[in-house]
Structure 1
Amino acid sequence: MNVRDTQGIAAGAGHSDVHVPQIAPQIAALIERSRAAQQAFEFAGQSALDTAAAAAAWAIMEPGRNRELAEQAVRDTGLGNADDKVRKNYRKTLGLLRDLHGLKTCGVIARDEATGIVEIARAVGVVAAITPSTNPAATPANKIINALKCGNAVIVAPSPKGYGACETLIGFIHAQFAKAGLDPALVQMLPAPVDKAATAALMREADLVVATGSQANVRMAYASGTPAFGVGAGNVASIVTRTANLRDAAHKIAASKTFDNATSCSSENSVVIDDAIYDAMLRELAACGGVLLDAQQKEKLQAAMWTDGKLSARCTAKSASQIAQSAGLADIATRECAFLMVEETGFGESHPFSGEKLAPVLTVYRARDFADAANIVRRLYAYIGAGHSVGLHTGEPHEALTLGSTLPVARVIVNQAHCFATGGNFDNGLPFSLSMGCGTWGRNNFSENLGFRQYLNITRVAYPIAEHVPELDSLLGDYFRRFGQ
């Protein structure tokens, strides 16, 4: 019997004064099917777990299905562009397969003769996967593959806009499962229409919640009473120092800023440029398709992008030309601009360009020197984005250690296109993921890229070893010599 079942019996038997929200019959049925499937799957062996993960991966990677999912995602959500989503769906899944290949995720996974500890991988059970509209296929697929690899079942709660693409993805997964003789109940989703009440009920009844998307969903996951991993807010800044290769930096920032119309939380929202190379760097960004707005144009853009302090849907994840048209900047809209740039000096709510924009709009700050650049980033993240990541373009790689030691960030991305690198890439060692833990800075309980380890319990068997009791002086001798007893 599942722990939650015994808790429910106890609550019903001895705590009738405690209010337990009624579970909708549809969700209760989902959970029941999911638990039955998971309990059989968990002990099916490593080959079965690997087969299920592979089936889910190929469901999204096969070119025809990938294209269909990408086009449906853009059509339904109005966010991003299909060609970039095709690349994202494929590369993120391929990279995840690489990370998982050959890993043992059930049974005994480690033995340490010196300590007498044996580690046994155990599934967590039923996973509630909360997913965003910005990546309505790639993010569910990533979570599903990780969960299956570890012997779990998954119920996805997609965003309302992303429901159709997620439903199509799960249909593709079920078709692959049929070929492999796997139970389709291992991967399910909430029935439409998805609302907060249904999502909250799923969170309460699952064994683990993994939440990506709005901070409201993350907070709801943490408040659900179920163990949860949630991500922090993005608002990535990149620093360009006087020793950087400016052309290389500009091309990488432009590629990151424009990919999928900046739907990624890892796309740069700001670039902080050393005063010594400020004008030269702006010229390089312009050569990559960036258009710097003047003060009047910036004011028009701000009015179009924010309504009552909230980002406007008409600009979110749209192309630079579409955004310029919405802002009444017809002369710019008719040009072939890749992204818009605005200069800024302030931070906080009264300076909305200092926050996350989810659009190909890049805020530009001028810094006196490296120390000032780091301080500008610190002030940006004090507003939005603490814990996520910072980019650094420099000829002095040791500067990254300074940022990693002093800024509230979980990742420092050196001389790379940030939105590709921070979630893992084939030219760095970070694990592939679409969900970035931001540590306590971002009010998260982890600071790594969300991966398979978050979907596992580990049981440790402790065998007896030869006793070794240290002498007190070996541990406190230095303290005693310096300060006495």
Structure 2
Amino acid sequence: MDNIMLDRTPASADQEAIAALVARARTAQRAFADATQERVDDAVAALAWAIYEPGRARALAELAVADTGLGNVADKIVKNQRKTFGTLRDLMRVRTVGVIEEDTAKGIVKIAKPLGVVGAVTPSTNPAATPVNKAMMAVKGRNAIIIAPSPMGSAATGRTVELMRAELARIGAPEDMVQMIPTPITKGLTQALMEAVDLVVVTGSQDNVRRAYSSGTPAIGVGAGNVPVIVDESADLAEAARKICASKTFDNSTSCSSENALVVLDSVYDATIAALEEAGGYLCTAEERGRVQSRLWENGKLNRKLIAKDAAILAEAFELAPKAREARFFLVEETGVGKAHPFSGEKLSLVLAVYRVPDFDAAVDQVRRILDHQGRGHSCGIHTKDEAHAKRLADELDVVRVLVNFAHTFGNGGGFDSGLNFTLSMGCGSWQKNSISENLSWKHFVNITHLVRPIPEDKPSEEALFGPFWSRHGR
């Protein structure tokens, strides 16, 4: 026995630890697999209440900021409640038990069934909200879920999981429907989880996304954001500035949907800058811009001591003018795109790049270059009254979402004035090698059985199908 213990490798120990969790999850999931829709919806609401209850929403926000040093408490409270409430709204409006769709004309009935056990990798930026969001969707499909948090957010995620389990127990549902891998969190444990479950859903580092896709388990990963937003000559500049400020400053710009670059037409550039300053922005001088760049990046990487920090901390770190000490976010003018121009990428901070372009054609080209550098597939936005401009972006750019006249952070992942479903995980399609090109939702957490019955024959003639081709090209 001693020799066996000595021969154990860290990998086998990780696999054993995960196997025990998965076994418990499978037992819980099997016990819940035959739950009625009402029972399922009760469990989903219980998970939502675990974080939505005001005292817990605040406590988890405080713990998240203390645990990670990212964002701010007030906005994390809003995120914990708003995202959860919106997701609950979406989930309560759909069936996931039994027959969920029937098409009599095609003779097809669709029956939803569980996937099994889901492994969810979650980020440090949202160590409470994202685990609950994914757990609600998974349990809506009658699945169990095991969460692998970022090491930096593991204390907050651990407490969140404890609260979700307590709420499940309170309604008599199996607690082991929601679990978390043991601390300390390691890549080995996370990898073992990915390999042992029935579906992996990853939000966070692109390294984890790639590892999930190569794990041998069906996987849903989401891509990096780097949102560029156009302001054209028809925009309501005051309204656009207000929305940009609200979105950019929310939770200190931790969201992947936060604006990272503004592309402003020359004819309204000065007025747009003035409106942004009125809304709380501060335009850095050329000298200050140099300090921002040299301190926000160290050895080519974002400085973890400055990302997602309060504006006052950044103003001091960048040694900005006294006027900047009252600003809510900071504007830096940029012209280039690429590795030599770090402001053209995602900044995870209250720093917003601004590009001046001569016309709308140039604006579209600039947005394309920014996305090709980073964030292709994710999203972009525009402030405009010209519907043709918005339509052109959707037609020409390789993004999953184009938002028109939105505070981008509050519309991209679902909003009460946005038709997109609420989520904290946004697919970017093949443009970022993602398996989905939409917002993560409940439908990604169910298997579908198709009951198929005979229908009247639907077989067109050869002439009906080939006729147009023959008339143009001959037989």
Report TM bin, short chain: over 0.9
Counterpart selection for 2:68 from 62, 77, 101: 77
Counterpart selection for 1:281 from 262, 265, 272: 272
Give the corresponding residue for 1:479: 469
Give the corresponding residue for 2:146: 155
User: 2:436, 2:18 → 1: CA distance?
Assistant: 29
Q: Aligned residue pairs: how many?
A: 465
Counterpart selection for 2:112 from 117, 121, 125: 121
**Does residue 1:421 correspond to 2:393, yes or no?**
no
Deviations 1:89-132 (A, max 9, x none): 11111111111113110211112121111111011110001000
Deviation at 1:242, TM superposition (A): 0.4
Deviation at 1:332, TM superposition (A): 5.2
SS of the aligned residue for 1:105 comes to coil
Deviations 1:61-91 (A, max 9, x none): 0000000000000011000000001011111
Give the corresponding residue for 2:4: none
Counterpart selection for 2:241 from 250, 254, 258: 250
Specify the code of the residue in structure 1 equivalent to 2:390: A
Give structure 1 stretches of 5+ with no counterpart.
1-19
Deviations 1:424-482 (A, max 9, x none): 11012110011111111122111111010111111111112222321011011011011
Specify the code of the residue in structure 1 equivalent to 2:347: K
Deviation at 1:21, TM superposition (A): 6.5
Give the corresponding residue for 2:180: 189
Q: Answer whether contact 1:301 1:324 (CA < 8 A) is retained.
A: no
Give the corresponding residue for 2:3: none
Give the corresponding residue for 1:439: 429
User: 2:374, 2:126 → 1: CA distance?
Assistant: 21
Deviations 1:291-328 (A, max 9, x none): 11111111111111111111011111001221122223
User: 2:321, 2:361 → 1: CA distance?
Assistant: 39
User: 1:131, 1:468 → 2: CA distance?
Assistant: 47
**Does residue 1:396 correspond to 2:386, yes or no?**
yes
Superposition pairs of residues 232-381 of structure 1, within 5 angstroms: 232-329=223-320, 331=322, 335-381=325-371
**Does residue 1:460 correspond to 2:453, yes or no?**
no
User: 2:93, 2:331 → 1: CA distance?
Assistant: 45
Mean CA deviation greater in 240-249 or 107-116: 107-116
Give the corresponding residue for 2:7: none
Give the corresponding residue for 2:98: 107
Specify the code of the residue in structure 1 equivalent to 2:391: L
How does the TM-score come out when normalised to structure 1?
A: 0.94
User: 1:250, 1:330 → 2: CA distance?
Assistant: 22
Q: Answer whether contact 1:131 1:158 (CA < 8 A) is retained.
A: yes
Deviations 1:242-291 (A, max 9, x none): 01000000000011110000000000000000000000100000111111
Deviations 1:374-424 (A, max 9, x none): 110100011100011111100112321110010111111101100001011
Counterpart selection for 2:128 from 128, 132, 137: 137
Specify the code of the residue in structure 1 equivalent to 2:379: S
Specify the code of the residue in structure 1 equivalent to 2:178: V
**Does residue 1:221 correspond to 2:197, yes or no?**
no
SS of the aligned residue for 2:326 comes to coil
Q: Answer whether contact 1:92 1:433 (CA < 8 A) is retained.
A: yes
Give the corresponding residue for 2:81: 90
SS of the aligned residue for 1:188 comes to strand
User: 2:56, 2:84 → 1: CA distance?
Assistant: 13
SS of the aligned residue for 2:151 comes to coil
Counterpart selection for 2:137 from 117, 127, 146: 146
Q: Answer whether contact 1:80 1:318 (CA < 8 A) is retained.
A: yes
User: 1:271, 1:442 → 2: CA distance?
Assistant: 22
RMSD: 1.2
Mean CA deviation greater in 310-319 or 320-329: 320-329
User: 2:223, 2:442 → 1: CA distance?
Assistant: 19
SS of the aligned residue for 2:381 comes to strand
Deviation at 1:22, TM superposition (A): 6.9
SS of the aligned residue for 1:269 comes to strand
User: 2:47, 2:458 → 1: CA distance?
Assistant: 49
Percent identity of paired positions between Structure 1 and Structure 2: 52
User: 1:137, 1:36 → 2: CA distance?
Assistant: 25
Q: Answer whether contact 2:263 2:355 (CA < 8 A) is retained.
A: yes
User: 1:320, 1:121 → 2: CA distance?
Assistant: 47
Specify the code of the residue in structure 1 equivalent to 2:40: L
Q: Answer whether contact 1:240 1:272 (CA < 8 A) is retained.
A: yes
Mean CA deviation greater in 278-287 or 172-181: 172-181
User: 2:399, 2:472 → 1: CA distance?
Assistant: 36
SS of the aligned residue for 1:24 comes to helix
SS of the aligned residue for 2:390 comes to helix
Specify the code of the residue in structure 2 equivalent to 1:326: A
Q: Answer whether contact 1:298 1:342 (CA < 8 A) is retained.
A: yes
How does the TM-score come out when normalised to structure 2?
A: 0.96
User: 2:459, 2:170 → 1: CA distance?
Assistant: 57
Specify the code of the residue in structure 1 equivalent to 2:224: A
Q: Answer whether contact 1:92 1:432 (CA < 8 A) is retained.
A: yes
Q: Answer whether contact 1:324 1:332 (CA < 8 A) is retained.
A: no
